[in-house]
């Protein structure tokens, strides 16, 4: 989300999901919405039924391709070239929104320079997308009345993830497609509460609501509220904590609800880090690859066992309600409170609503949120005061940067961090499947889901399968520079020749043994969407 933060001043979806159905062009980029966000895809369906034109940007022939006007079947890792290629065409044909550019943006001249070299031919060379398709997509998007871009992890999970997002923003600004209902940029992110977790400030450089630790007036506000002296410098990012654990200078870690030893890329490195810790506490509801490194495992409570809130991908703060008692007797908020007390810092909340009241008092965007107000229906932040209705569309009048204007960032195509070669000739893309969720610890324990989707398979194109003499359903070895796994082949037209696809939902086929440790240096997001592998017949 660092990309949107730079370009727009905030890292969140600009519109509400409800508005998707009234857009006349949807550009769906790096999101297999049908499987990753099934209910968002119903909003897309509604738009299609209302006559919207659809542009898909995805290396895989995802389901939505069949409803699309153009499928931009780009090579993994060529997002920036593709987007700047589109902008090139738009500027060449004078389809840009000059008024918007003039009144509401900065940095356009630099961008104009940067996109000069991305001629349709050059773009085709890098991305593999034909000139025809580029021309068609550029015109569709630029001429739309209300165009929305929906992007997913296929955009951010690259080592140029942040720049990819900036390039998306560049495209939207060029056409003025932001800041109105049914017009904007929607980030479709992975997990249920990623928006909320980002908002709440478990992050080394910010408190809640993206308020910087380094700003004295912010820090003092939190010091007053929490009645302690707070550290003045930013802390370590998780990757840095893991690296320092291996170096021996980071000793103790508490992990709450994350299965890093399964879901992080290049997990061998993570496993080494966890082994090196002197004391490791894990709070989870099931045993996972992470808990096996623990010194103490604290039982977590599932969402059905506690009151609280989640903030969804359109910034809507919604209630989670306790349906049954916590199986282990306590929910995490109670555990943290007990732990804190034992370390000499009293916390005395009697109900999570009181925690939300404290959050609201310290976080301008959440200022007007309370359990009472969201009892019937969740509210979309920014909601600064108790009488503010919340915000469905961001940036109607100005952007969140100091100048109030959006910023074009002249990024450059850089490709993937790891490219295929003769030894590892295939590009592995990883992602999600409809029936499963993340490390699979929950969905693998749903009997019916296991009947439908019992094991990991690798998607491989017919042409490649024929060359390797691999049959549908045959077990194969997939290896990268970091390790190997064994899975059945799913011979398909979904993945294009040269690309293969794996999800990461199973304990015995650990996809992330293969993935590379290359990260986006700005956001720290791992490059899940492209690493080089080889496939061997057994």
Partner 1 sequence: MTTAIAQDTITLTINGKTVTAASGKTILQVCRDSGIYVPTLCYDERLEAYGGCRLCLVEVKGQGRPLSSCTTPIREGMEVTTDSDRITRLRKTVLELLLSNHPNDCMLCEKAGACTLQELVYMYGVRYDNYYGEMWNLPKKDDNPFISYDPNKCVLCGRCVNICQNVVMKGTIDMTGRGFYSKPDTAFGKPLTPDICVFCGQCVSACPVGALTEKQARGKGRVGSVERVRTTCTYCGTGCNFYLNVNKGKIVKVTSDYAAPVNKGNLCVKGRFGYDFIQHPDRITKPLIRREGVTDTSPEVLKDPMAVFREAEWDEALDLVASKFMELKNKYGPDSVGGFSSSRCTNEENYLFAKWVRVALNTNNVDNCARV
CA–CA dist 335, 104 (Å, integer): 48
Bridge partners (DSSP) of residue 225 are none
Interacting positions 154-193 with partner 1 (CB under 8 A):
157, 188-193
Which of 112, 139, 221, 319 is the binder for partner 1 (CB under 8 A)? 319
CA–CA dist 121, 524 (Å, integer): 33
Is residue 389 at the binding interface for ligand SF4, with CB under 6 A as the rule?
no
Which of 18, 38, 361, 455 is the binder for ligand SF4 (CB under 6 A)? 38
Q: Which is nearer to partner 1, 47 or 142 (CB)?
A: 47
Q: Give the x/- contact pattern for ligand SF4 in 39-58, rule: CB under 6 A.
A: x-------------------
Q: Give the x/- contact pattern for partner 1 in 339-378, rule: CB under 8 A.
A: xx-xxxx-x----x--xx-xx-----------------xx
* Backbone phi and psi for residue 163, each to the nearest 5 degrees, phi listed first: -65, -35
Partner whose binding site includes residue 36, from partner 1, ligand SF4, none (CB under 5 to 8 Å by kind): partner 1
* Residue 344 beta carbon to partner 1: minimum distance, rounded to whole angstroms: 8
DSSP annotation string for 423-451: SS-EEEEEE--TT--TT-TTGGG-HHHHH
Residues 6 or more apart in contact with residue 53 via CB below 8 angstroms? 24, 25, 26, 69, 140, 144
Residue 68 tokens, joined:
């699309």
Instruction: Give the ranges where 151-288 is alpha helix by DSSP (H).
Output: 153-156, 161-175, 194-199, 216-226, 238-247, 260-263, 267-276
Is residue 302 at the binding interface for partner 1, with CB under 8 A as the rule?
yes
Judged by DSSP in three states, 529 sits in coil
* Residue 421 beta carbon to partner 1: minimum distance, rounded to whole angstroms: 27
Interacting positions 69-128 with partner 1 (CB under 8 A):
none
- Which segment (95-103, 115-123, 226-234, 407-415) binds partner 1 by CB under 8 A? 226-234
Q: Give the x/- contact pattern for partner 1 in 469-498, rule: CB under 8 A.
A: ------------------------------
* Residue 280 beta carbon to partner 1: minimum distance, rounded to whole angstroms: 9
In terms of phi and psi (left: phi > 0; alpha: psi -120 to 50; beta: otherwise), the region of 67 is alpha
Q: Which is nearer to partner 1, 131 or 522 (CB)?
A: 522
Partner whose binding site includes residue 231, from partner 1, ligand SF4, none (CB under 5 to 8 Å by kind): partner 1
Interacting positions 444-463 with partner 1 (CB under 8 A):
445-449, 451-453
Query: In 3D, which of 303, 323, 333 has the Cα closest to residue 442?
Result: 303
Residue 48 tokens, joined:
């299609």
Partner whose binding site includes residue 122, from ligand SF4, partner 1, none (CB under 5 to 8 Å by kind): none
Give burial (CB, 10 Å; 0-12/13-18/19+) of 98.
exposed
Cis peptide before 382 (omega within 30 of 0): yes
* Residue 444 beta carbon to ligand SF4: minimum distance, rounded to whole angstroms: 15
Which of 40, 185, 476, 532 is the binder for partner 1 (CB under 8 A)? 40
Query: In 3D, which of 370, 365, 372 has the Cα closest to residue 391?
Result: 365
Q: Which is nearer to ligand SF4, 237 or 319 (CB)?
A: 319
Is residue 49 at the binding interface for partner 1, with CB under 8 A as the rule?
yes
Name the residues that contact ligand SF4, by CB under 6 A.
Answer: 37-39
């Amino acid at each position: 989300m660092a990309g949107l933060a730079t370009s727009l001043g905030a890292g969140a979806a600009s519109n509400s999901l409800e508005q998707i159905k009234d857009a006349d062009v949807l550009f769906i980029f790096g999101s297999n919405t049908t499987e990753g966000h099934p209910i968002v895809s119903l909003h897309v369906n509604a738009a299609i039924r209302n006559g919207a034109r659809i542009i898909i940007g995805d290396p895989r022939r995802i389901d939505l391709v069949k409803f699309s006007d153009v499928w931009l079947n780009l090579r993994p890792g060529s997002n920036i070239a593709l987007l700047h290629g589109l902008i090139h065409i738009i500027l060449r044909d004078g389809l840009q929104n000059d008024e918007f550019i003039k009144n509401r943006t900065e940095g356009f001249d630099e961008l104009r320079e940067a996109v000069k070299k991305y001629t349709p031919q050059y773009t085709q060379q890098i991305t593999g997308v034909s000139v025809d398709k580029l021309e068609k997509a550029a015109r569709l998007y630029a001429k739309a009345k209300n165009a929305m871009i929906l992007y997913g992890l296929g955009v951010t999970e690259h080592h140029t993830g942040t720049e990819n997002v900036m390039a998306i923003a560049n495209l939207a600004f060029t056409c003025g497609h932001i800041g109105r209902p049914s017009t904007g940029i929607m980030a479709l992110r992975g997990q249920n509460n990623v928006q909320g977790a980002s908002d709440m400030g478990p992050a080394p450089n910010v408190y809640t609501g993206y308020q910087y630790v380094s700003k004295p007036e912010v820090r003092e506000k939190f010091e007053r509220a929490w009645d302690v002296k707070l550290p003045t410098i930013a802390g370590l990012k998780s990757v840095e904590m893991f690296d320092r654990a291996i170096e021996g200078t980071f000793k103790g870690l508490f992990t709450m609800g994350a299965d890093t030893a399964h879901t992080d890329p290049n997990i061998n490195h993570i496993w080494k880090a966890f082994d090196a810790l002197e004391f490791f506490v894990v709070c989870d509801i099931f045993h996972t690859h992470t808990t096996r490194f623990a010194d103490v495992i604290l039982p977590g409570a599932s969402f059905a066992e506690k009151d609280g809130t989640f903030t969804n991908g359109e910034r809507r703060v919604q209630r989670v309600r306790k349906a049954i008692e916590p199986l282990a007797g306590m929910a995490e908020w109670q555990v943290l409170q007990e732990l804190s007390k034992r370390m000499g810092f009293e916390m005395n909340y009697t109900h999570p609503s009181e925690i939300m009241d404290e959050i609201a008092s310290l976080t301008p965007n959440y200022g007007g949120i309370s359990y009472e107000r969201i009892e019937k229906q969740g509210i979309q932040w920014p909601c600064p005061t108790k009488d503010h209705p919340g915000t469905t569309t961001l940036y109607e009048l100005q952007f969140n940067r100091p100048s109030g204007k959006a910023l074009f960032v002249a990024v450059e195509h850089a490709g993937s961090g790891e490219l295929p070669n003769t030894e590892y000739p295939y590009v592995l893309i990883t992602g999600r499947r409809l029936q499963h969720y993340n490390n699979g610890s929950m969905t693998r324990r749903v009997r019916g889901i296991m009947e439908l989707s019992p094991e990991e398979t690798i998607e491989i194109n017919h042409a490649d399968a024929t060359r390797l003499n691999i049959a549908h359903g045959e077990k194969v070895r997939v290896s990268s520079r970091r390790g190997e796994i064994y899975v059945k082949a799913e011979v398909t037209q979904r993945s294009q020749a040269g690309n293969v696809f794996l999800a990461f939902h199973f304990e015995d086929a650990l996809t992330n043994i293969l993935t590379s440790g290359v990260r986006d240096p700005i956001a720290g997001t791992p490059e899940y969407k492209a690493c080089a592998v080889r496939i061997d017949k057994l």
